[in-house]
Structure 1
Amino acid sequence: MNTPFDPRLPRSAAWLGYGGLLPFIGLALVAWADRHHGLVWADALVAYGAVILSFVGALHWGFAMALPGMALALRRNAFVWSVVPPLLAWPAVMLEPQLGAPLLIAGFLAHLWQDHRLAGQVPLPAWYLPLRRQLSGVACLSLALGAFSITH
């Protein structure tokens, strides 16, 4: 059984994390394949990306609540940061995909940077950063492909 700081990726986290990439990949591909409805698919992709970026932001809220021994300033910063991704995601769904997708990509990359900063200051599971890098990379690539599909 995995403990919170076991270096092995828990099976449930792997299934849920990688499974969560299926809508990113599927929507990006269908936006390319179905040019007639490409805007609809790209809008759906941006909407899904906004939901996931908001979820990812909440991870830092959870860390701030659950990690023992976290310095007060770091805990406060994690709470504050946790609301930034939803604040980026919300306007992204109101923009055209060519603008909303880059905003989400910036949000995913900024959050990954915040993940690395946090991991340098508190003990996070060894599997967390590699998983976050992989998931964010595929999400960003899918968002870029989906938004680009309707411009060509």
Structure 2
Amino acid sequence: MTLNVAARHPARLLGLAGLIPFVGLTVAIHALDAQRASLAQAQLAYGATIVSFIGALHWGLAMRDAGLDATAQWRALGWGVMPSLVAWCALLLPLPTGLWVLAALVPACWWMDARLSRALSLEPWFMQLRTLLSAIVTICLLLSALAMA
């Protein structure tokens, strides 16, 4: 499946802009001891929102491509709801446990995105962007979890 080539530039800019809260909150968690817990909670909430969005990508891509067989459709649609459910559970966990859960979930989302990307023969730019974003988000979550441990 071909992705809209015109979407490449805005997707990259908006994806990179989406890193601002992760990086900013990570720096703040390490710099502002008195507000560390509330900042970490904000990062956990933002991270949960982002992984829910990432899961929804599978729904959009799977419903758009008629070439996926029934098993691949179920896998894509089923996985699409998993990040939201796991992120919701992470929100209910104490800090830093919720951050550790999200730090593990982001690479799992990347792995499932890579599988779907191969199945749909998506352009390389999609996974290049996903790889960059996932790496930075995972590092931020890990650093924040370590600060809260």
The verdict on a shared fold, with TM-score over 0.5 as the criterion, is yes
What TM-score, normalized by structure 2, do the two folds share? 0.92
Counterpart for residue 47 of structure 1:
45
Cα distance, 1:116–1:39 mapped onto 2, change above 3 Å: same
Q: Aligned residues: percent identity? A: 37
What amino acid is the match of 2:107?
A: L
Moved over 2 A (4+): 3-6
Query: C-alpha displacement at 1:39, in angstroms?
Result: 0.7
| Alignment partners' CA distance in 1, 2:18 and 2:53 | 11
Determine helix, strand or coil for the equivalent of 2:122: coil
Counterpart for residue 27 of structure 1:
25
Counterpart for residue 147 of structure 2:
149
Query: C-alpha displacement at 1:9, in angstroms?
Result: 6.9
Q: What 5-or-longer segments of structure 1 have no aligned partner?
A: none
| Alignment partners' CA distance in 2, 1:68 and 1:83 | 20
State the number of aligned residues: 148
Q: Deviations over 1:14-68 (max 9, x none)?
A: 1110000000000010011100110110111111000001000000011111123
Contact 1:49 1:104 in 2 (8 A): yes
Counterpart for residue 3 of structure 2:
4
Determine helix, strand or coil for the equivalent of 1:36: helix
Contact 1:35 1:150 in 2 (8 A): no
Cα distance, 1:150–1:106 mapped onto 2, change above 3 Å: closer
| Alignment partners' CA distance in 1, 2:45 and 2:25 | 11
Q: What 5-or-longer segments of structure 2 have no aligned partner?
A: none
Structural RMSD (CA):
1.6
Larger helix percent: 2
Determine helix, strand or coil for the equivalent of 1:131: helix
Contact 1:57 1:85 in 2 (8 A): yes
What amino acid is the match of 2:9?
A: R
Contact 1:43 1:96 in 2 (8 A): no
Question: Which residue, out of 99, 102, 109, partners 1:101?
Answer: 99
Question: Which residue, out of 133, 136, 142, partners 1:135?
Answer: 133
What amino acid is the match of 1:127?
A: W
Query: C-alpha displacement at 1:82, in angstroms?
Result: 0.2
Q: Deviations over 1:78-135 (max 9, x none)?
A: 0000000001100111212210011112211111111121222222122111111111
Counterpart for residue 36 of structure 1:
34
